[in-house]
Each structure stands twice: as structure tokens, then as C-alpha cells.
Structure 1
Amino acid sequence: MAKASDLVKRLLVGRALRSGQLHEQLLPKRIALPVFASDALSSVAYAPQEILVILSLAGVSFYAYSPWIAIAVVVVMLTVVASYRQNVHAYPSGGGDYEVATTNLGANAGLTVASALMVDYVLTVAVSVANGVDYVGATIPFVAQHKPAVAIGIVILLTVVNLRGLRESGAAFAIPTYAFMIAVLGMIAVGGFEVVFLKEELRAPSADFDIVPEQTDLTMFAAAFLVLRAFSTGCAALTGVEAISNGVPAFRKPKSRNAATTLLMMGLIAISMFGGIIALGLASGVKVAEPSVAATDLLRPDGTPVGPGYHQQPIISQVADAVFGGGSLPFVVISGVTALILFLAANTAFNGFPVLGSILAQDRYLPRQLHTRGDRLAFSNGIIILALMACLLLWGFDADVSRLLNLYIVGVFVSFTLSQTGMVIHWTRRLKTEEDLKARHQMHRSRTINFFGAVMTGLVLVVVLLTKFVVGAWIVCIAMPILFLMMKAIRRHYDNVAAELEITEEYDESTLPARNHAIVLVSKIHKPTLRALAYARATRPSTLEAITVGVEGKEARALQEEWERRGIPVPLKMLNSPYREITQPILDYVKTVRRRSPRDVVTVFIPEYVVGHWWEHLLHNQSAFRLKARLLFKPGVMVTSVPWQLHSSDRLRGRPEQYAPGVARRSGGEQVKNR
């Protein structure tokens, strides 16, 4: 059974890697781009469409604002990319926004960024997978009918792939990511050539449709609010930019330069795809409405509603239809790789969240297990926790993209704003000590870029909060403080434990006990009891006695007689128990011994069975477990288990040691230490 489970693990995760092979997991730029950019690139699959969906609430006439909204989103994206190129050079350790905010704005700002990023990483997985399921569900009814189950299954598959290690997951996801980039950029190039040079008219499947406005006779304030809401939704295209700053350690040397180059490549490709799709969408007359009202508000050319049987194609599919024709091979390829890239977009979070969790654990804000590496040198515990949280979110929100999107991008813009503010302080501090004129010029330029980035992302954050708070963002605004307080509590616990265990000047080793009173617990006379007695005698305690609890008078007298008949050279003390309780009389007796000699130690030896089947644990050692659990809280009392291996335990002899992901390991290959 053990070998079978280990074989399954190896088939899924792969053979364990030595700590010295960590350098083999580092990524070249060609692999790092699909690993860290899949989230940002996949945003073009839905960000342009969401802009049009929000504007459609006021009717097709409001589509005229979409080019200006797209330009604003592109300006913000360029600003963020330029700003984060400064980050990866200044802070290449992988702490990203968390490290920048902590170093320059203080621990509380750093924890705010960390809580925002963790929420956003979980939402990245949930939104990307749910959106991918929507694409597949449009053609496969079974998937549409079981969206949450299919989405959770996809998350589990992504988890297994990521547990195999960063390099393997990157290689697995590189081909579909590059296929998506080539397909979409090719479509934009062909469509742009037809429109600009051939002067052909592109016609999307919905070009002749009309939209019934949900909001009519808007005041200037209401119209501006709607445009701002469309802008905030379109800013989903910026998600994933921060992942590269958190993943710098995963790059090959020179790490900072390779990360900055990859960030620039990602930004230029994402901007080209985003701008091209929305431009071709408008040129081909794409019409999209809110999914919940599309059946009634989307009108055919004859003025009749499309009805509940109509499937509203995503904007990329409609543009592909207009450029290549519906049902053509390029159309099928583009639709397929778009659905695939949405699933793979979650991989950005699977690489960012575990690294961030490791850094937070190293700083004692999260459990230390998150700082350890698994069999494949990935932060396995962080990967599994991310997957569990994303699955809970998908299940709780029924894998509904519209509901999940309302929670999205709040966290990422909190981290953007605080990070860029921290970078301004970083450069200001550096300028106070730097004397080289060339270096000062570069610092002034970097500070200007980061200042502009802080202002831009801060404004976007305000817009996002104003436009999304009521429709779902309030959940994130509650989740972030809860995570913040949880991490503060964990750090306080670790600090208290460290202070309690620290060796101080007042600590005097001479206060250690000079005498050891040994007690062996006896239930009956058999081999485990004799072994425990022999071991206790071998430790040469100051005093040694055996104690048993007399529940049944007849059995107690028989035990006493056999003890004397065998001539066991250890005195046996019988404890009375009129209420047939076993644990409490032993605890009372140990307390009495401690009270007589408060400065001495009492060692309790407990014979235990070692069994080979899980169900045998239910049949043995229950009294021993209860006793140990109670005795561990008694100061000055040591508990020693003396094992006796039953024959059933032979099946486990020679079994290779099993590890949970990251258990009893240290990040970076430290040797296992005694607890």
C-alpha cells in the first residue's frame, strides 16, 4: 500500500530533486514569459469585452467612449510596466511589492500589500478558470451544466502540474501561451491590413444587432460614473504585472535584467493585443450585453430580442469571425487557444502566491511550513493552500465570472499604489547619499516614473472602489483586514515564543534539577512492561517506582502477587480509583511527587504498541495518548514513550520515509534539524 501510494505520487509529481538541483529549475526568458505573463496576456480575452458590456448599459451610442477608455487603460498599463521595471532592479530578492512597502513604508504597509496580493492571487485563479470554463461550456453542454465541478477539476490539474516544479510547469504551458500570442497578434495584423490598406468592411456576427439601454436619460454625473466603471473594469488587463517582481529569483542570471526585459516584452505584447482587439471589435461592429439581460436587451435587425437560446460569442470569437469567417480553421484555432490561455492564466498565481507565502513565512507572518520546499523544489504547501482557497471560491460563487469579476483588481491596485509610493521614498533616500552625477540622473528619472505610477494607480484605486464597492468589492475590503490581523497575530505568537525561549543573563543552568524521580506506568505484566522497566533502570534515575491503577480489586491483587512472584526489583505502587478512572489518579500522584520536591524532575515512562494498520490505532494506546496529552502541560514532568513493535508493524519496516509537501525540510536545501 505504501509503495503503491509512493508510486502514484511519483507518477503525478515526479521524482524528488536534490537541493543542489535548485539552479536547474531557474527559467530562461523564453520560458519565464509564458510562466509569469499568462495572466496579463489572458486579460485581453475579457477586458475589452467588459468595457463594452458596461457601456452597453446606456446603449450602443456609449460605445463611442470605448476608444478613449482603452487609451486610458493603455496609459496606465505603460506606467505600471515602466514603474515595475524600476522595482525589479531595486529589489531583486523576490519580495516584490511586499518588500518595497515594508522597507520604505513600514511593516503595516507591507502586510497590507501582502494581504491584498494574496486575495488577488486567489481571485486570479478563480476568475481565469471560471472564464475558461465559460468558453468551453459554450460548445460542450455538459461543461456548462457542471461549471463548478469542472472548474475545480481544472484547478486540481493545474495544482498537480505546478507541484512538478517551476521549470516543468513552464515548459508545459509555454506552447499554448505562445500559440495564443501568435494567433491573436496574427488576427490583429490581418484584420488591420484589411481595414487600413484593403479598405474592406469587417462584419461581426452581431454587427447588425441593437441594444436596449438599461439606463436612459443619464445625468452628466451618472454618465461619467458609467464611463469610470467601464474604465475600472477594463483595468483588469493590468492584473499579473506584479507577478514578475515577485518571481525575480526564478530567473536565470542576470536576474534583474532578465526580469525587466521579460516585463517589457509582456507589457508591449499585452498592450498590442488589448488595443488591437478593441479596435477591430469597434471596426467590425461587435455588440455585447450583460449576460443576465442579453436575451431580452440584445435585439436582432428586425427588432426582436435574441431570446434565451442565443449564445453571445466573446469579443475575440466575434472578431475572428469577422476577419477569417466563422467555422474556418483560424477561427477554430483562435477560439481554442483563447479558452486554453484562460485556464493557464491561473498559473501566474501558482508561481506568485507560493513565493510570497515563503517570504511572509520567513518573516514569521505565516506558518513556517510555507517557507519549505517540496520534492520538486517548489513551495508545495503554498501551491496547495492557493488551490484550496480558489476551489472554495469557485464553489461558493458557483464559478460565475460576473460575480467574481466584481471582487477583482481591488487588491492588485492597493499593492500597485503602495509599492510605487514606497519606490518614491526609496529613490529619495538614495539621492541623499549618492554623489555620482550619472547615478543621480538615473535616480531622478526612476523617481519621476514611480511618482507618476503612484498617482495613476492611486486614482484608479479610488475609481475601482467607488464603482465596484457595492457590487461585490466590499467582500475584498473585509477579507484584506482579516488576513492582515491574522498575520499580525501569527507574528505576535512567534515573537512571544522566541522571547520565552531566549537564553537571558538571568538564566542559570544550576537551576536544572539535580534529582530525577522515574515512574513506570503498568497495566499488566508483559513484554512491553518489562522493556519499559529495563529502559527506566538503564537511565539510572534517583528514584524508580512502578505505579498501576487498581480499578478491579481482583485484578489488582493478581497483578501484585505476580509482581512479587517474579521478583521484579522495582517497587510497585497501587493507586486506588473508586470511580474506575485511570488518568486522574496518575495525574494526582505525579502532582504529589512534584509538590514534595518542586526543584526535581519527574520522568514518566509509558509503554506503547507500534502497530501497522490505521484501525489498530483505535484499539490500542488510547489511555497512553490521553495521559501524554495531560502530562505535557505539567511543568517539571518529562514523558518518555517506550515502543513495542507488534508483528503488524513489520509491513512498514524498511518503508521509505514519507513527507507531506515541505514537511521537515528547509527552503534552499538546509539540512533537516532536530526539533
Structure 2
Amino acid sequence: MANRMKRLLIGRPMKSKELEGEKLGRLKALAILSSDALSSVAYGTEQILIALMVAGFAAVWYSIPISIAVLGLLLILILSYRQTIYSYPMGGGAYVVAKHNLGTTTGLLAGSSLLIDYILTVAVSASAGTDAITSAFPSLHDHRVAIATVVILFLTLLNLRGVTESASVLAIPIYLFVVSIFVLIISGVVRYLTGGTHPDIPEIGTAVSNVSLFLLLKAFSSGCSALTGVEAVSNAIPNFKQPAERNAAATLVMMGVILGSMFLGISVLAYWYGITPSSNETVVSQIAASTFGRGFLYYFIQGVTALILFLAANTAYSAFPLLAFMLAKDKYMPHAFMVRGDRLGFSNGILFLAAFSIVLVVLFGGNTENLIPLYAVGVFIPFTLSQLGMMVRWVRQRPKGWGGKLAINTVGMLTTLSITLIFIFTKFAQVWMVFIFLPVVMWLFLRIHRHYVKVADELRIDLSADKPTIKGSTVVVPVAGITRVVSNSIGYAKSLTDNVVAVYVGFDDDSIERMEAKWAEWNPGVRLIVLRSSYRSITRPLLKFIDTVEWKTAETDHITILIPQFVTKHWWQHILHNQTGLLLRTYLFNRKDIVIATVPYHLKH
């Protein structure tokens, strides 16, 4: 039943040789890896305006130069990550760059920042998409958390079905969003040219007395939240069709052009229309309503905006499992993250990402504004470390034309470092948790790595000297009576060795006498040891007996506890029977020098 349900939801298992067919071309990669960056158009301008509104409506004109500055940073990042793609075609982005050029600790800082950022990406995207829906349908405002959770579960299921299938499904709404935003921008420009703008907007350059440098820097850093997701392409190079690095670089440039055009267009329209941020309606919603009214086009734009905000999480679903795979390969995360699922995706990484994202949505009540500062800090730390790592690489290797490449990365590093510091100083009350999460995650990475290294040292053998230790074997079979299950288990035990002992735990004299008499009558050729339990416990007397056997025979024999276990025909029938065997296995599991084996007997009814 469970397997049929799994096949229905996820699809048929795929062969390993089908992996090449799961690679992405440029158009599908643009949809699946750029959705996070492109979706930030829906809230990047809004974050700038929220910061500027402290100084009043007269300060809205600052959104234009700030948006241009954000585009300048976008250009630097595109050029920088394009260099990273060609330098590290195996993917990994900031983690690999920092680890190779700045050391393991710095690499782990970048890796942990990115992992946290991807979890926040899913939470922010789901919450922001919910905001777009509640802007159009205010009656749903109180159900934000439930809506966001359902969307995360849907995306999780979609990604468990495989990269190609999820890309095919997601490409349509993502490109619809791009087209609809450009239609909105063009329509807005036409309306501006025909004189339909806000009558009270301040002219660009108007002096505003209470605007400080601190406020402008805060607004700029807030607008830089539109740049999150830019690094995803460099992390996921292995997902591209060959030539992977060329396709990845082209996809990155396409994403930069589209993102920059849409972001600047929305910022200009927000200024022309005199849009101010509202807790109940997004900036894009207000622009669409001002341009088209609340008709079909308005609801269409709100619908695809909600979809792209939801689907922006898919960038994280593509990049998080790959990054987790690389960390696991380096022994900093559990090896389970290296295992591909039935559909050739890293299923454990996908499920882990979904679970923690839902926890964040619940903890923050689906509030996008509270999540975005954490989200942005998480991505600008890797931005900075990646740029610094590339600077070190150029200085060390000095390839042809390295001076220009170094200049690009230097400007990028200084800019992203400045933004990171601005975020920390201007939004410390909202981002302080990052300074707890990052050290904890790095500490966990180091503990995991230490464990794997010690286990490898302990298990390593000298092929020329270490040979298997050959001992005899003593098999102990706990029995609760004389049944086919016990007969089957003793038969198997005697096939392994002649040194077999059956152990029965009795609670009173009558039950013990009956068991001894029946055993003597049956006479299976195995000695029966009877233990009395004054406190009606089966496991305690058995454990004491096993300790005695272990003490006497550990040097000469392997000790095997062979537990008879019947398997019911239907899963629900398990609850109708005592689980003594399961309890005994649990107690014995951590005991040294004992082998635990189970002999199943399948019931017909």
C-alpha cells in the first residue's frame, strides 16, 4: 500500500544511466535556478520604500538612485560569478571557492551561510507568495501560515519527482511572470507618457531635511534583497547539459539582464505613481491596480506574481541538495545527503529543506518582512567570501588577464562586505539570530567531520597483516513457548552450530513446570535454560543470563542472540501482539561483542 502510494506521488524509479537525461538546458535552467532572483522583483522595491518612508513621502524619489546602485551591484555580481563558473565548473559556488582559497573554516562559514539562506529562501518565498494572494483576497489574511505550508509541501513533492519534471512544470508560470511584468512596465510607461501619474510626487533631487546617510544605506541594503539567488547558478553547474560551464554562464547573464530590467521598471513605476508600502497590499499589487484597475489583468498579474513567489523556493530545492551533497562528500554533513532517490534527485536534502522551512514559516507567522533581513545576510556573507576567495586565486595563479579579473572581484568584495556590515548595523535587532545559527551549524559540521575521520581510522585495516579472527559460535534463542516460530528458529540455529541454548523466562512455578514438561516431550535436541522472574520482567533476567554467557565464552565464541519473530499479514495486526522481540533488540543493540539476529516467521492469517 505504502509503495503504491509512493509510486503514485513520486513516479517510477529511474535507472542511474538516465541521469544524463535529467540535465537542464538554458531555458529550463533559467526557470528553475533563476526563480528566486526573478521573484525578488516583487518585493525588492517594496523593501527600499519601507526604509525610506521613515523620512516621509517626500523621500520616495531616492528609490530611483538607490535602485540604480542596486543594478550596479548586480552587474558586478554577474561578472564575478561568471568568472567563478569557469574557474570551478564542478559547482559548489561560494563554499568551494572559499574552501580552496581561504581555508576550511572559511569554506564552512560560506557553506553554512548558504544552507541557512536556502532554508530562508523557501520560507520567504512561500510567505511572500501568500502575501500576494492575501493582497487580492484579504479574507485569507489569517490563513497565511497554512497556505505557505501547503505550497512548501507541493514543491517538495514536485522536486522529489525529479529535476527535469519539476523544471517542465515550473517553466510556464515563471515565464508568464516575466511576460506579465514587462507588460505591466510597458503599460505603465505608456500611462506616464499620456500624463497619468501621481500629482504630488517629489521631483528627483528635491532636498529632504530628515534623510540621513544612515537611512539611505539602510534603504540600499534593503533593496539588495533583490539580489538573493544570483549565486544559485554557480552552485548548480552539475545540473546543466554539456558544455555545462558555458550553459551556466549564459544562463547567469540572461538572468541578470531580465532581473535588472524588471527591477528598475518596477522602481520607476512605483515612483511615478507615488506608491507607498502597505501592510495589506504589496507594491506590485498597487502598481497593477493603478495601471489596469482591478480587472482581469490585475488579477492575472497578482496570480502569476503569487506563483513566482511560491516557485522562487524551487531555486533552493535545486541548490540546497547539491551543496549538502558536496559538504557530505567532504564529511561535514551526514552521508545520507549523498544518496540519490528513486528519481535521481538527492531526496534527503529535499526533505530536510522542506521540514526546516515549514518550521520557520510557523515560528515567524508567515511574516515576510521579519524573514527578509535574515535571508539577505545569509546570502551576502557567501557573496563576500566568494569574491575574496577569487581575489586570492587570481593573485596566486596570475593567469592571462588576471589584473582585470582581480579588479572585478575586488570591487565586488568591497561592495558586498559593505552591504553585509550595513545590514548588521542597521538591522541588528532582526539579524542577531544569524550570529547564533552560523557558529552552531559550523560546530556541527566539525563534529560530524571529526566523527567520520575517527571512524575511518578505527575501521581501516592493514591488508597484508590484518586477517579475520576465527572463533566458535554460541547461539542463544529466547523462547516464550513451543510454537512453529520457535521450531523454525531453533532449526535455523542448529544449522549454524551445535552450541545452541534455548532460554525461557517464567513468572511462577506452574508455568515453569508446564514448559519443562512440554520441552522434554518435544525434545528438539537443544538444552532449555529456565529463568525465574519475580518482577514479571522478561528482558531483565535475559540480559543477566546473556552477561553470564558473554563473560564465560567471549574469548572463544561469537555470541549470537537469535530472536524468533512472527510477521503479521496486515500492518495493523502488529498492535495486537506483544513486542517483546523488538524491546529485546532495543536493549541489546548497544551491547558490545553480541550479534543480534532475527528469524522471521510470516503468518498466513
For the superposition of Structure 1 and Structure 2, which TM-score range results when normalised by the shorter chain? over 0.9
1:546-569 per-position Cα deviation (integer Å, ceiling 9, x unaligned): 222232211111221222223332
List 4+ stretches of structure 1 deviating above 6 A: none
Q: Does 1:500 align with 2:489?
A: no
Counterpart pick for 1:442 among 393, 401, 406: 401
One-letter amino acid matched to 2:119: V
Q: Does 1:537 align with 2:481?
A: no
Summarize the Cα distance change of 1:607–1:275 in structure 2 as closer, same or farther, 3 Å threshold. Answer: same
Summarize the Cα distance change of 1:587–1:331 in structure 2 as closer, same or farther, 3 Å threshold. Answer: closer
1:584-599, aligned counterparts within 5 Å?
584-599=540-555
Q: Does the residue aligned with 1:573 lie in a helix, a strand or coil?
A: strand
Counterpart pick for 1:154 among 151, 154, 158: 151
One-letter amino acid matched to 2:460: E
Q: Does the residue aligned with 2:412 lie in a helix, a strand or coil?
A: helix
1:219-298, aligned counterparts within 5 Å?
223-282=212-271, 284-289=272-277, 291=279
Counterpart pick for 1:70 among 63, 67, 92: 67
1:401-445 per-position Cα deviation (integer Å, ceiling 9, x unaligned): 2222232200100010111111112222222xxxxxxxx333333
Aligned to 2:18: 21
One-letter amino acid matched to 1:611: T
- On the 8 A contact 1:54/1:290 being kept in 2, the answer is no
Q: Does 1:340 align with 2:307?
A: yes
1:6-45, aligned counterparts within 5 Å?
6-45=3-42
Aligned to 1:117: 114
Summarize the Cα distance change of 1:446–1:557 in structure 2 as closer, same or farther, 3 Å threshold. Answer: same
Q: Does 1:92 align with 2:62?
A: no
> Alpha-carbon deviation of 1:209?
8.6
Counterpart pick for 1:490 among 448, 453, 456: 448
Find the aligned partners of 1:321 and 1:595 in 2 and give their Cα distance.
82
Counterpart pick for 1:80 among 74, 77, 80: 77
Aligned to 2:391: 424
Aligned residues: 599
1:624-675 per-position Cα deviation (integer Å, ceiling 9, x unaligned): 2222223333332222212211114xxxxxxxxxxxxxxxxxxxxxxxxxxx
1:561-592 per-position Cα deviation (integer Å, ceiling 9, x unaligned): 22222333222222233333322222222222
Find the aligned partners of 2:5 and 2:554 in 1 and give their Cα distance.
53
One-letter amino acid matched to 1:201: G
Summarize the Cα distance change of 1:562–1:78 in structure 2 as closer, same or farther, 3 Å threshold. Answer: same
Aligned to 2:423: 464
- On the 8 A contact 1:608/1:621 being kept in 2, the answer is no
> Alpha-carbon deviation of 1:248?
0.7
Aligned to 2:472: 515
Q: Does 1:386 align with 2:343?
A: no
Find the aligned partners of 1:585 and 1:388 in 2 and give their Cα distance.
42
Is 413-422 or 331-340 further displaced after alignment? 331-340
Counterpart pick for 1:633 among 569, 587, 590: 590
Summarize the Cα distance change of 1:573–1:286 in structure 2 as closer, same or farther, 3 Å threshold. Answer: same
> Alpha-carbon deviation of 1:83?
0.4
Summarize the Cα distance change of 1:384–1:328 in structure 2 as closer, same or farther, 3 Å threshold. Answer: same
- On the 8 A contact 1:609/1:620 being kept in 2, the answer is no
- On the 8 A contact 2:191/2:197 being kept in 1, the answer is no
Counterpart pick for 1:602 among 559, 564, 572: 559
Q: Does the residue aligned with 1:406 lie in a helix, a strand or coil?
A: helix
Summarize the Cα distance change of 1:519–1:52 in structure 2 as closer, same or farther, 3 Å threshold. Answer: closer
1:95-131 per-position Cα deviation (integer Å, ceiling 9, x unaligned): 1111111111122111111111111111111112212
CA RMSD of aligned residues (A): 2.3
Find the aligned partners of 2:474 and 2:6 in 1 and give their Cα distance.
47
Aligned to 2:205: none
Counterpart pick for 1:136 among 133, 138, 153: 133
One-letter amino acid matched to 1:179: L
Summarize the Cα distance change of 1:442–1:202 in structure 2 as closer, same or farther, 3 Å threshold. Answer: farther
Q: Does the residue aligned with 2:476 lie in a helix, a strand or coil?
A: strand
> Alpha-carbon deviation of 1:507?
7.0
- On the 8 A contact 1:551/1:578 being kept in 2, the answer is yes
Aligned to 1:669: none
Find the aligned partners of 1:194 and 1:583 in 2 and give their Cα distance.
82
In the alignment, structure 1 segments of 5+ residues that lack a partner are 211-215, 292-310, 432-439, 649-675
Summarize the Cα distance change of 1:525–1:11 in structure 2 as closer, same or farther, 3 Å threshold. Answer: closer
In the alignment, structure 2 segments of 5+ residues that lack a partner are 203-207
Find the aligned partners of 1:607 and 1:190 in 2 and give their Cα distance.
76
